[in-house]
């Protein structure tokens, strides 16, 4: 039975469940989308419910009582503006004239309610109607739902909140609420007493957050949800961990005292107290427990939210792929809960980006429950300076989701608001917002003095009883709780319980919570591991290549794609040579699918490719039906996730996918490499450091189109230097567990091997690939099937086969190699200058570089050449390391552009002059 014992009227409301192939005709954005996506792997028709239209009798009554219809509608629209939502009473009361019945010519009398208002009677007086409307819409819960464009959703919501009486909770329900509130308060008092100098970001003032989460966990458990993915910032995190999520307080106190959260022999730097995470099975009495996974979070507020969304979707997709849940909707078995602060929710752009993913075909997780723990302040910034909107939640209206505001001083109302939010999410599989309006008793942290900047607010707060104490008084008055001594005993026992764990922490030895479940079989590299063999039988490759452009009978492919992509690929596959970049990629994808590894590539325009090179999905020119030919190969599938115009949220989403799916190739591709820095926070706080902080490996691949080709400052560079700066490779020798791999391959075969290698390592590391633009169709940048055959693998260094006894050795990275060999040939210097390609910069290929250097005796000129400016590209990373490899007395010389504040000039003539100097100058003097 529900915690709230709410009469679940919505479960018997008339509804129409459309077949899976049906289209939601009421959704404005659906035009053209479902025909485009319904046969594509990863797309599943959303769950759809439709309320029946008004009956003829209801329509007649609505016409006859039009003024009453207007009044009821105004309460639905504006009632929340006069609701009792602010526990501090600081918000000035609005005078909403639209709620005055005399404005609509209404007077005392009896009104028929059919089709207008939901009450427990068919007729009511104006006084009864007004009382009901005020109780529903102007109490301690405020509803915003009339902005939802879908009539069925609006009718459903109004029916629920108007028909559902506020039924009393059982005494056991109330005691449960009291226990959660009290334990949270005792925990904060314990931490303040035992660790007064620790920033714990307590929950004092917003203890009702515990009620929200307990109700969500319970409702989810009874609804058959197996997994909950939870992300939250610092506020109240430790309270939640040690109580509802059963995190061992001994381990927590061990960490508080400055110790590591994992054993000393595990490589890692750890993270701060407020970033701890856990996962736990919780049972509320349903048949099976619900598994709750709280994600680690960085200090960058809201950055973890798209990660949680991606992880939740990955869990749901895994159920499909494993065959255990093939006939369910997205969100039936997995739910995402996203916690927010009020200032961050309206202030951080990633919130908007993540909301934008909520209903997209390849990103939806079936509806997230968003909980804003609204302290009415951000650090020291009051609401009037923190947002331009009425509520902090207003940004969420962009996705037309309902918002439920609730006064955090009233835990029973909080529980009811939560149950309503869950019902909506579970019915429509769409996002919903709970705006828990509370306050922060202490400063931003416990060492801060908030009265410096908010004296009036904190005079109010310090004169108030706490939420647990207020609720205690209520339950005492209602005779639910016994004498005062019994209550104090509860507090004392919990305090003593925490004290025992504190004592145990002095002898506590942590364990490493990593590489379990789906990650079993993966390892933490303790030594440099040889690259796996990634070649594939030639006939298998040929078949994969043919299948990659094979469409169903009758499909009308665009004639240019047919001529230049399909026919050309088939011809070159028959020849076994001249294979271009897109073919190498398709062969990597297809061969991995055959081996049982699913593949997902996400980003803007990834189905076609920014440069019209990929065409891994083909669109019928008549019907616009889309096919992904590679998905005919195997039960493992390729998911093409064309994304919204977002970098931060989408890369974060894909990182979330990657930490849940170690045996899937997860790829995010930038439209141009320059644009990845919109997601710099994801790179810095998750991708580059997630393993060392949290022991969470990720195999996410970033494809970043890179190359100075006249595109100007923002269409030239993947900022390779920024990734290399994050890499922890040593300066004088190999590092056994380098955190990221960074590569700049120059042939399709090398790219093929890189992608395949990613899933054949016994561990997972992020792979950053600077991918080409002009090389996609370059006649020299091709490979043969033999280059990908058994016995072949990725080569981190490609020596120069033409220069046997050169006078000068030039190390080069990336596409400029092809410009250099052309210039060298024109000068006839093939024997005098060796052009050595460094295909992978990190991990530094120490042994391969030594092999090259040892093979060139008597060379005095050792150069690093790059087209990027000197302060960018790979030079500053490779120079001190390559100097360790060069013969004694020699050091690496630089040849390239001088330092620059931008990657490239936007002046065409200047670009050409610079490029000519870089290409020709390295051969001068020979």
Stretch 749-755: mean pLDDT: 99
Give kind and range of the element (H or E) at residue 143.
Answer: strand 141-144
For residue 54, give every residue at least 6 positions away whose Cβ sits within 8 Å of its Cβ, in sequence order, or none: 62, 115
> What gap in Å lies between CA 205 and CA 54, rounded to an integer?
45
> What gap in Å lies between CA 416 and CA 409, rounded to an integer?
13
Region of 892 (left: φ > 0; alpha: ψ -120 to 50; beta: rest) is beta
Stretch 521-543: mean pLDDT: 93
State if pTM tops 0.85.
Answer: yes
Instruction: Return the exposure string of 695-733: e unless at least 16 CB atoms fall within 10 Å of the residue's CB, then b.
Output: bbbbbbbbbbbbbbbbbbeebbbbbbbbbbebbbbeeee
Stretch 208-226: mean pLDDT: 98
Before 846, cis peptide (omega within 30)? no
**pLDDT for res 32:** 42
**pLDDT for res 29:** 37
Stretch 560-572: mean pLDDT: 97
**pLDDT for res 368:** 98
**pLDDT for res 454:** 83
Give kind and range of the element (H or E) at residue 318.
Answer: helix 304-322
> What gap in Å lies between CA 169 and CA 166, rounded to an integer?
9
Q: Coil, strand or helix: which one is 208?
A: coil
* pLDDT tens per residue, range 698-725: 999 999 999 999 999 999 999 999 999 9
Given the structure tokens 């145990």, which residue do they identify?
Answer: 504
> What gap in Å lies between CA 182 and CA 321, rounded to an integer?
43
Stretch 391-404: mean pLDDT: 97
Comparison of pLDDT for 448 and 791, the residue scoring more: 791
* pLDDT of 47 strictly over 90: no
* pLDDT of 9 strictly over 50: no
Count of beta carbons in the 10 Å neighbourhood of residue 356 = 18
> What gap in Å lies between CA 415 and CA 219, rounded to an integer?
11
> What gap in Å lies between CA 608 and CA 610, rounded to an integer?
7
**pLDDT for res 11:** 37
Stretch 854-874: mean pLDDT: 96
Six token digits for residue 70: 């207007």
> Is residue 658 a contact partner of residue 700, using CB atoms and an 8 Å limit?
yes
> What gap in Å lies between CA 921 and CA 896, rounded to an integer?
9
Hey, what's the torsion of the CAs at 199, 203, 206, 209, to 10 degrees? 130
- Beta strands, E only, 431-480: 432-437
> Given 3-state DSSP classes, what are the helix, strand and coil percentages for the chain, each rounded to the nearest 5?
40, 15, 45
- Beta strands, E only, 12-82: 16-17, 49-50
> What gap in Å lies between CA 312 and CA 309, rounded to an integer?
5
Q: Coil, strand or helix: which one is 601?
A: strand
> Is residue 302 a contact partner of residue 236, using CB atoms and an 8 Å limit?
no
Q: Coil, strand or helix: which one is 897?
A: strand
pLDDT bracket for residue 232 (50, 70, 90): very high
* pLDDT tens per residue, range 295-307: 999 999 999 999 9
Asked whether the CA dihedral 852, 854, 859, 860 is positive or negative, the reply is positive
Radius of gyration of the chain (CA): 31
pLDDT bracket for residue 142 (50, 70, 90): very high
What domains are defined for the chain? 51-163 (no CATH), 175-511 (3.40.50.970), 538-705+748-781 (3.40.50.12470), 797-921 (3.40.50.11610)
Backbone angles phi, psi at 509, to 5 degrees: -120, 115
Q: Chain centroid to CA 400: how far?
A: 20
Q: Coil, strand or helix: which one is 217?
A: helix
> What gap in Å lies between CA 61 and CA 112, rounded to an integer?
7
> Is residue 334 a contact partner of residue 429, using CB atoms and an 8 Å limit?
no
- Beta strands, E only, 460-604: 599-603
> What gap in Å lies between CA 152 and CA 36, rounded to an integer?
25
What is the pLDDT of the chain when averaged over all its residues? 93
| HSE value, Cβ hemisphere, 13 Å, CA-based, for 339 | 23
Q: Which of 647, 640, 703, 653 minimizes the C-alpha distance to 673?
A: 703
Stretch 182-186: mean pLDDT: 98
The DSSP call for residue 836 is E
Instruction: Provide the pairing of β-strand 767-771 with 741-743.
Output: parallel
> Is residue 619 a contact partner of residue 273, using CB atoms and an 8 Å limit?
no
> Is residue 375 a contact partner of residue 440, using CB atoms and an 8 Å limit?
yes
> What gap in Å lies between CA 19 and CA 329, rounded to an integer?
12
Six token digits for residue 859: 């060379």
Given the structure tokens 């109302």, which residue do they identify?
Answer: 413
Report how far apart the first and last C-alpha atoms of the chain are (Å, whole number): 86
Stretch 272-286: mean pLDDT: 97
Six token digits for residue 508: 């506590």
Backbone angles phi, psi at 712, to 5 degrees: 90, -175
The DSSP call for residue 565 is I
Six token digits for residue 414: 């909080």
> Is residue 230 a contact partner of residue 295, using CB atoms and an 8 Å limit?
yes
Q: Which long-range contacts (CB under 8 A, 24 or more apart) does 491-494 make?
A: 491/182, 491/186, 494/182, 494/183, 494/186, 494/187
Instruction: Provide the pairing of β-strand 861-869 with 767-771.
Output: unpaired
* pLDDT tens per residue, range 630-645: 999 999 999 999 999 9
> What gap in Å lies between CA 131 and CA 836, rounded to an integer?
83
Given the structure tokens 């009874």, which residue do they identify?
Answer: 222
Backbone angles phi, psi at 652, to 5 degrees: -60, -40
pLDDT bracket for residue 326 (50, 70, 90): low
> What gap in Å lies between CA 255 and CA 262, rounded to an integer?
9
The DSSP call for residue 315 is H
Q: Coil, strand or helix: which one is 833?
A: strand
* pLDDT tens per residue, range 460-514: 889 999 999 999 999 999 999 988 888 999 999 999 999 999 999 999 999 999 9
* pLDDT tens per residue, range 633-690: 999 999 999 999 999 999 999 999 999 999 999 999 999 999 999 999 999 999 999 9
* pLDDT of 13 strictly over 50: no
> What gap in Å lies between CA 177 and CA 724, rounded to an integer?
51
Lowest mean pLDDT among 28-42, 186-200, 568-582: 28-42
Lowest mean pLDDT among 103-117, 383-397, 871-885: 383-397
> Is residue 706 a contact partner of residue 284, using CB atoms and an 8 Å limit?
no
> Is residue 777 a contact partner of residue 580, using CB atoms and an 8 Å limit?
yes
> What gap in Å lies between CA 310 and CA 656, rounded to an integer?
4
Six token digits for residue 138: 């102007």
* pLDDT of 812 strictly over 60: yes
Stretch 321-346: mean pLDDT: 88
Backbone angles phi, psi at 665, to 5 degrees: -80, 110
> What gap in Å lies between CA 476 and CA 472, rounded to an integer?
6
* pLDDT of 191 strictly over 90: yes
Query: In whole angstroms, how far apart are CA 44 and each of 12, 184, 322, 672?
Result: 25, 41, 16, 30
H helix count then E strand count, the chain: 30, 28
pLDDT bracket for residue 24 (50, 70, 90): very low
> What gap in Å lies between CA 559 and CA 579, rounded to an integer?
21
DSSP string, 366-394: S-EEEEEEE-SEETTEEHHHH-SSSSGGG
């Amino acid at each position: 039975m529900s915690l709230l014992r709410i009469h679940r009227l919505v479960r018997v409301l008339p509804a129409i469940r459309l077949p899976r192939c049906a289209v939601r005709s009421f959704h404005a954005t659906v035009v053209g989308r479902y025909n485009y996506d319904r046969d594509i792997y990863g797309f599943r028709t959303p769950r759809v419910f439709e309320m029946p239209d008004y009956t003829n009798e209801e329509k007649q009554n609505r016409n006859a009582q039009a003024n009453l219809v207007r009044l009821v509608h105004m309460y639905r629209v504006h009632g929340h503006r006069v609701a009792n939502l602010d526990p501090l009473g600081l918000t000035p009361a609005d005078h909403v004239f639209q709620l005055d019945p005399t404005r609509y010519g209404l007077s005392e009398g009896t009104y028929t309610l059919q089709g207008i208002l939901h009450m427990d009677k068919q007729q009511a007086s104006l006084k009864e109607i007004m009382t009901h409307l005020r109780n529903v819409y102007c109490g301690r819960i405020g509803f915003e739902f009339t902005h939802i464009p879908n009539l069925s959703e609006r009718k459903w919501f109004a029916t629920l909140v108007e028909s559902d009486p506020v039924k009393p909770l059982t005494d056991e329900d109330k005691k449960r609420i009291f226990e959660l509130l009290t334990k949270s308060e005792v925990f904060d008092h314990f931490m303040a007493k035992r660790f007064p100098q620790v920033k714990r970001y307590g929950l004092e003032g917003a203890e009702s957050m515990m009620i929200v989460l307990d109700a969500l966990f319970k409702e989810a458990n009874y609804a058959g949800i197996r997994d909950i993915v939870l992300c939250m910032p610092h506020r109240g995190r430790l309270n939640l961990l040690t109580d509802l999520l059963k995190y061992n307080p001994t381990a927590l106190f061990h960490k508080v005292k400055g110790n590591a959260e994992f054993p000393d022999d595990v490589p890692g730097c750890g993270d701060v107290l407020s970033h701890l995470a856990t996962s736990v099975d919780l049972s509320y009495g349903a048949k099976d427990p619900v598994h709750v996974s709280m994600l680690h979070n960085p200090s960058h507020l809201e950055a973890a939210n798209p990660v949680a969304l991606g992880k939740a979707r990955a869990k749901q997709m895994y159920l499909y792929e494993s065959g255990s849940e093939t006939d369910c909707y997205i969100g039936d078995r997995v739910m995402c809960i996203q916690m927010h602060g009020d200032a961050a929710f309206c202030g951080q752009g990633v919130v908007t980006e993540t909301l934008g993913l909520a209903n997209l075909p390849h990103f939806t997780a079936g509806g997230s429950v968003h909980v804003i723990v609204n302290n009415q302040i951000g650090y020291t910034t009051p609401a009037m300076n923190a947002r331009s909107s009425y509520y902090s939640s207003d940004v969420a209206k962009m996705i037309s989701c309902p918002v439920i505001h609730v006064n955090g001083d009233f835990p029973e109302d909080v529980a009811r608001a939560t149950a309503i939010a869950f019902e909506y999410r579970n019915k429509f599989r769409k996002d919903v917002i709970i705006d828990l309006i509370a306050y922060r008793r202490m400063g931003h942290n416990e060492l801060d003095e908030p009265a410096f900047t908010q004296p009036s607010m904190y005079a109010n707060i310090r004169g108030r009883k706490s939420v647990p104490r207020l609720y205690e008084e209520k339950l005492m008055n209602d005779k639910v709780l016994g004498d005062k001594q019994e209550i104090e005993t509860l507090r004392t026992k919990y305090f003593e319980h925490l004290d025992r764990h504190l004592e145990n922490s002095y002898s506590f030895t942590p364990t490493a919570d990593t590489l379990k479940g789906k990650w079993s079989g993966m390892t933490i590299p303790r030594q440099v591991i040889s690259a796996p063999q990634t070649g594939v039988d030639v006939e298998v490759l040929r078949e994969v290549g043919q299948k990659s452009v094979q469409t169903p009978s009758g499909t009308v492919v665009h004639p240019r794609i047919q001529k230049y992509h399909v026919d050309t690929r088939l011809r070159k596959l028959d020849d076994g040579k001249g294979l271009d970049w897109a073919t190498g990629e398709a062969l990597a994808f297809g061969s991995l699918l055959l081996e049982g590894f699913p593949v997902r590539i996400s980003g803007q325009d990834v189905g076609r490719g920014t440069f019209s090179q990929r065409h891994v999905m083909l669109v019928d020119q008549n019907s616009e039906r889309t096919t992904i030919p590679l998905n005919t190969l195997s039960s493992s599938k390729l998911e093409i996730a064309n994304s919204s115009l977002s970098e931060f949220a989408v890369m974060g989403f894909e990182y979330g996918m990657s930490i849940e799916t170690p045996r899937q190739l997860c790829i995010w591709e930038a439209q141009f490499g320059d644009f990845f820095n919109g997601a710099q926070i994801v790179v810095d706080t998750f991708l580059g450091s997630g393993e060392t902080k949290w022991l969470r490996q990720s195999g996410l691949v970033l494809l970043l189109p890179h190359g100075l080709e006249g595109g100007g400052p923002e269409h030239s560079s993947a900022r390779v230097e920024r990734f290399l700066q994050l890499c922890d490779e040593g300066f004088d020798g190999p590092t056994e567990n380098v955190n990221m791999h960074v590569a700049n391959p120059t042939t399709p075969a090398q790219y093929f091997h890189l992608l395949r290698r990613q899933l054949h390592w016994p561990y997972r590391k992020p792979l950053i690939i600077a991918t080409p633009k002009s090389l996609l169709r370059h006649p020299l940048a091709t490979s043969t099937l033999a280059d990908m055959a058994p016995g072949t693998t990725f080569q981190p260094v490609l020596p120069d086969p033409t220069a046997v006894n050169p006078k000068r050795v030039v190390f080069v990275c990336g596409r400029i190699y092809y410009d250099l060999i052309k210039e060298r040939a024109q000068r006839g210097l093939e024997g005098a200058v060796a052009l050595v390609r460094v295909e992978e910069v990190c991990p530094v290929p120490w042994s391969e570089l030594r092999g090259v250097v040892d093979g060139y005796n008597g060379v005095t000129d050792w150069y690093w050449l790059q087209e990027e400016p000197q302060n960018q590209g790979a030079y500053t990373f490779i120079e001190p390391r390559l100097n360790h490899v060069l013969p004694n007395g020699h050091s690496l010389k630089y040849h390239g552009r001088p330092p620059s504040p931008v990657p490239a000039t936007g002046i065409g003539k200047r670009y050409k002059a610079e490029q000519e100097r870089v290409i020709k100058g390295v051969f001068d003097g020979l």
